[in-house]
Each structure stands twice: as structure tokens, then as C-alpha cells.
């Protein structure tokens, strides 16, 4: 037997056993500003791979762009948001201002400071559950497939989106992956202008979120093209306890 205790939920799904460690919250922030490309948000340096979940605002799309890794530590993460795609392409596009709440989870091999409750170790004496920690908890997983951004004649870009409802939980945190990439360039009088897009999130209500393409950069280029990577995305809706 490889475990000393196994805890199942009401659907017979394993919550805690000795085979795998659970992931718990180690850092968070609220109302973090995102108003530049890219917005670099620092975390406490850690060699343990972080899992970062975000809660977007309702004004502009945002997406978690990348983790910054400087061997052997994860040091920051990058967020991006919408830009003014109608501005003069001869200078960097103005970035709209929004904010996010975020939580960082990772394996946490050290025990909490609590002196009461439940603490479970595996056969190697590694901590697998500690009642003093806030655990990463998937509430819902949705798969979303969007059309490509397009530019119908004479109107702004059409940027496909889909609204997702999670009635079981209010104001959750989300992980979205992959975030795709779409390039659209076209002739504008004597020059070619390009626009690039990613897939991001915007809050609709406490129990719903919009998943959609948004423009995060544009400039001049040498020719016309419409191409990119438009995958089916996983939207992971999370809660912590």
C-alpha cells in the first residue's frame, strides 16, 4: 500500500492520497495594474514551478502571456491587455489600463504554521495535505473553439468570443491555455499595417466570463497576410479553500 489515507469525494474522486502532493496557494495580489506591453508582475523567486490563476476585470481583455524563468528560479509573469488598434501605426500602440487579481500556487513541501487540524504525509514523509493551506481546486473545465479575427470592409475587426457560465461558483480565478496567435496585415494606402491578436478573458458577471480574441500590438510590415495558431482553449475555473 502506497498511502496511509485516501479521501474520496461524493463522486468517488480522489481528493487526497499518498501518491501525489496537492498544490496550494503561496502568494497573491489584488487590483494589480495592467497598462503596458507586457506588464511584468514580480513574484517571490522560487525554483518550484508556479501555477498562476487570474481574475480579470470587466473593462478589457487580459491574458497571462508568459512566465519569466531565470535558471533556477521563476521570477515574474507577464500579462497583456488590449491596445488602441485605431491609433497611428508609426508609434507603439497605446495600451488600455485594466487590473487583475492573481494567485500563485505551487507544491509547498513545508508545513503550515497551524497547530491544529489535519496534516497528511506520504510514505516518504513528504507533506501531501495540510489543513492550514489553501488548495488549488478545479471547479469546471471548458473547451472553447473560436473563429479567426477578420476585418470586414469598412468596419472594425470582428473578434470572435464565447461566454462561459459557471453557476456553481462566484468570482473564481481562471487559467486559460493555450492563448493562440493571430496575424492580420493589410494595405493601408501606401503601407502595410499588421495587427496581432491573442485569446484572453474579460469578466461579465460574478458567474460568467468572456473568452475572446483581442489586439495587443500593431505596426508596419512588408506585405498582406492572415495566418496564425487558433487552437481549442482550455478554460480552467478554480477555487481555493
* Sites of contact with another protein (CB under 8 A): 7-11, 13-16, 19-23, 38, 49, 51, 64-71, 78, 107, 114, 116-118, 129, 131-132, 134-139, 141, 175, 177-181, 183, 196, 217, 222-223, 225, 227-229, 231, 234, 236, 241
Specify the residue, 134 or 210, whose C-beta has the smaller distance to another protein: 134
Specify the residue, 59 or 112, whose C-beta has the smaller distance to another protein: 112
CB proximity list for 23: less than 8 A, separation 6 or greater: 51, 105, 106, 107, 108, 135, 136
On whether the CB atoms of residues 18 and 64 are closer than 8 A, the answer is no
Specify the residue, 60 or 197, whose C-beta has the smaller distance to another protein: 197
Least spacing, CB of residue 95 vs another protein, in Å: 13
Question: Which residue, 232, 237, 54, is CA-closest to 143?
Answer: 232
Specify the residue, 59 or 121, whose C-beta has the smaller distance to another protein: 121
Rounded CA-CA distance 44/38 in Å is 19
Least spacing, CB of residue 53 vs another protein, in Å: 11
Least spacing, CB of residue 183 vs another protein, in Å: 5
Least spacing, CB of residue 152 vs another protein, in Å: 21
Grid look-up 475587426 returns 157
Least spacing, CB of residue 13 vs another protein, in Å: 4
E runs forming strands in 108-232: 119-121, 127-130, 136-144, 161-165, 173-177, 181-188, 191-205, 208-221, 225-229
The C-alpha torsion from 13 through 122 and 118 to 106, rounded to 10°, is: -80
Amino acid at each position: 500500500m502506497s498511502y496511509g489515507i485516501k479521501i474520496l469525494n461524493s463522486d468517488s474522486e480522489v481528493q487526497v492520497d499518498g501518491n501525489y502532493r496537492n498544490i496550494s496557494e503561496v502568494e497573491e495580489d489584488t487590483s494589480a495594474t495592467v497598462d503596458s506591453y507586457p506588464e511584468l508582475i514580480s513574484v517571490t523567486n522560487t525554483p518550484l514551478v508556479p501555477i498562476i490563476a487570474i481574475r480579470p476585470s470587466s473593462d478589457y481583455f487580459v491574458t497571462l502571456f508568459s512566465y519569466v524563468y531565470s535558471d533556477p528560479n521563476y521570477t515574474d509573469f507577464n500579462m497583456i491587455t488590449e491596445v488602441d488598434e485605431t491609433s497611428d501605426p508609426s508609434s507603439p500602440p497605446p495600451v488600455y489600463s485594466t487590473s487583475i487579481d492573481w494567485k500563485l500556487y505551487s507544491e509547498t513541501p513545508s508545513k503550515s504554521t497551524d497547530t491544529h487540524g489535519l496534516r497528511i504525509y506520504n510514505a516518504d514523509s513528504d507533506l501531501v495535505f495540510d489543513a492550514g493551506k489553501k488548495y488549488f481546486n478545479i471547479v469546471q473545465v471548458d473547451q472553447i473553439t473560436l473563429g479567426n479575427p477578420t476585418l470586414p470592409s469598412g468596419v472594425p475587426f470582428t473578434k470572435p468570443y464565447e461566454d462561459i457560465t459557471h453557476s456553481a461558483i462566484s468570482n473564481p480565478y481562471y487559467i486559460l491555455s493555450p492563448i493562440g496567435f493571430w496575424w492580420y496585415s493589410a494595405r493601408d494606402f501606401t503601407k502595410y499595417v499588421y495587427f496581432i491578436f491573442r485569446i484572453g478573458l474579460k469578466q461579465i458577471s460574478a458567474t460568467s466570463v468572456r473568452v475572446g480574441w483581442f489586439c495587443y500590438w500593431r505596426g508596419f510590415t512588408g506585405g498582406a497576410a492572415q495566418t496564425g495558431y487558433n487552437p481549442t482553449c482550455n478554460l480552467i475555473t478554480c477555487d481555493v479553500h
